[in-house]
Amino acid sequence: VMHNATFDLKMLAAQYDAYDCVARAQVADTQIAEMLLRNGRKSDVVMQGFALKALAERYAGMELDKTIRQGFYGIQSLDELSPAELHYAQRDVEATWKVYAQQLPELERDGLLRVAAIEGAAAPAFAGLELFGFGLDADAWRARVTEEQSQSQASRQQLDWEFRTVADRDLFGQTTLNYDHDEEVLTALKKLGVSLRTVRREALLACGHPAARALAEYREHQKIVSTYGEGFLAHLHPETGRLHPRFKALGASTGRAACGEPNLQNIPGESAFRECFRAPPGRVLITADYAGAELRVLAEMSEDPVFLRTLSAGEDLHARVASVMFRKPVTKQTEPELRARAKAINFGLAYGMGVGGLARQLGTDEADAEGLLAAYFKAFPKIRGFLDAAAKTALRRGYAETLAGRKLWFTDMRRDGRDEGSLVRIAKNMPIQGTNADLTKIAMARICAAFAQEGLDARLVNMVHDELVVEAAESDADAARRIVDRHMRSAGAELLRRVPMDVDLQVGPSWGKRGAPPDARERVAADPAAQRM
């Protein structure tokens, strides 16, 4: 039983070079338990509200003095601890136990024991992500960002030209227009005869003015430079030369994790960026992601026969949806655009996108969108039924929940005066997104434990919601790959009974890159044997 177990596990693993032991730990975490109990209710007690000190007072009436910890830093041996410091340590342990004893019945009352176990089991995996880090080829990365910088400069030349008639100049003839400042840019555009209320890319491109187009291009490159440039590289650890991000296992109210310093969950998808994340010599990266994760969860929860049949047969659901919506046969090969549109719509519609949003997505009028929406829900009536029921039930009970029992209470949101439509969409989305998070966390825990159990030289190095990245010694790569595949599927089967979770696997020198070419994609479709495990 630990409070903020990921921290302690990380310290234990590092100090005693004992990650294999840590990876198999069975953990209960009082901080996570508290966050699960509070999710969406009483968010005004955040920050200090989840510290052990606060919980000890609230649950056990114990006063903890944390200032004494100052003496702990830099000691070489436990013998150096004073009696007062030892007493503090003892009180810390006692408080944690007492808090957990009080939390247990509350977890049981709220049906949170299962998800608490999932989180506890995943704690060692998150500790490992931070401790081991993710290797980045800094030179290749810097080259890529520099390229982006020069493209940004080039767009800037174009911008100076486009805005030459409306921009003020300084003594040296340089424009004083700040292209990073929305308000300045909007007034400058207005002088060019373009009246916009936002500088979002979509609006800039829609207005069709060359100055707006140039601005969109500049911002695209500038976004990369500012977000993934020097500040990003500053996170490389001086000793390990790797990135050691901070993961928050409960980063999102849905149960998803979040990541920062740096955020390794929003790296541009282009291979030019991802290929900079490389395995050291003699090692490989295994990239594994759930294929169509959210739609599979939606299929499971809605029991829609078409969704279930299509996905269980390993067929293309987006293509199927496209053929229904556009009333013609669609495959990935023959109608890639229609399929791509259906894919975008699929996610939007499933979570409450309206007619207006759909029209915008498709670039058509609302009447057309209305018809498509009707066609969608006529073809998949159980999807609508499930989503409506999810919203209704959640609003009545005051919380939404995932298949593992994770809950999001609407207490805070109601108090903040969030409108009903927004609550409805959250109620529809949270069970899907959250169940997906449950699944991935179960998989992480099993994979980590299995690596340790089998003594493999393999470590989890990243997780991006429905994707896991593992670094392994070449000699252990095949065994590691099998473990990843098996446990991602078994985690799926743990929560989903009606549809298999399909996994895409890639093994190669870098993130998302396949090694020597096995010609076809190594996608093992719906293997019943794998489901049982």
Residues that bind DNA (CB under 7 A): 178, 180-183, 197-204, 206-207, 216, 219-220, 223-224, 226-227, 231-232, 248, 251-254, 256, 258-263, 265-270, 289, 293, 347-348, 351-354, 356-357, 360, 419, 421-422, 425-426, 429-430, 433, 464-467
Residue 259 CB, nearest approach to DNA (Å): 6
Phi-psi category of residue 473: left, alpha or beta, with phi > 0 → left and psi -120 to 50 → alpha: beta
Residue 133 CB, nearest approach to DNA (Å): 15
Residue 477 CB, nearest approach to DNA (Å): 23
Residue 427 CB, nearest approach to DNA (Å): 9
Residue 231 CB, nearest approach to DNA (Å): 3
DSSP code for 169: B
Residue 384 CB, nearest approach to DNA (Å): 14
Task: Please give the Cα distance from 174 to 512 (Å, whole number).
Answer: 43
Q: Toward DNA, which CB reaches closer, 81 or 186? A: 186
DSSP code for 166: T
Residue 215 CB, nearest approach to DNA (Å): 9
Q: Toward DNA, which CB reaches closer, 21 or 196? A: 196
Query: How big is the CA angle at 9 (ends 5 and 12), to the nearest 5 degrees?
Result: 140
Contact 499, 317 (CB under 8 A): no
Q: Toward DNA, which CB reaches closer, 82 or 150? A: 150
Residue 264 CB, nearest approach to DNA (Å): 9
Query: What are the angstrom distances between the C-alpha of 532 and each of 315, 376, 493?
Result: 21, 33, 7
Instruction: Judge residue 79's burial from the number of C-beta atoms within 10 Å of its C-beta, 0-12 exposed, 13-18 middle, 19 or more buried.
Output: exposed
| 523, two tokens | 């996608």
Helix/strand/coil (H, E, C) string of 382-413?
HHHHHHHHHHHHHHHHCEEECCCCCEEECHHH
Q: Toward DNA, which CB reaches closer, 25 or 491? A: 491
Q: Toward DNA, which CB reaches closer, 268 or 405? A: 268
Instruction: Judge residue 354's burial from the number of C-beta atoms within 10 Å of its C-beta, 0-12 exposed, 13-18 middle, 19 or more buried.
Output: middle
Task: Please give the Cα distance from 85 to 92 (Å, whole number).
Answer: 11
**Closest Cα partner for 477 from 288, 284, 289, 287?**
284
Query: What are the angstrom distances between the C-alpha of 361 and each of 152, 331, 410?
Result: 28, 21, 29
Torsion from C-alpha of 89, 91, 93, 94, nearest 10 degrees:
160
Instruction: Judge residue 448's burial from the number of C-beta atoms within 10 Å of its C-beta, 0-12 exposed, 13-18 middle, 19 or more buried.
Output: buried
Q: Toward DNA, which CB reaches closer, 232 or 380? A: 232
Task: Give per-residue burial for 170-205: e unless 16+ CB within 10 Å, then b.
Answer: eeeeebebebeeeeebeebbeeeebebeebeeeebe
Residue 113 CB, nearest approach to DNA (Å): 23
Q: Toward DNA, which CB reaches closer, 231 or 455? A: 231
Q: Toward DNA, which CB reaches closer, 351 or 386? A: 351
Q: DSSP string covering 62-110, please?
A: ----GGGGGGGTT-SSGGG--HHHHHHHHHHHHHHHHHHHHHHHHHHHT
Q: Toward DNA, which CB reaches closer, 191 or 328? A: 191
Task: Please give the Cα distance from 159 to 211 (Å, whole number).
Answer: 7
Q: Toward DNA, which CB reaches closer, 56 or 318? A: 318
Residue 270 CB, nearest approach to DNA (Å): 6
Residue 350 CB, nearest approach to DNA (Å): 8
Q: Toward DNA, which CB reaches closer, 47 or 516? A: 47
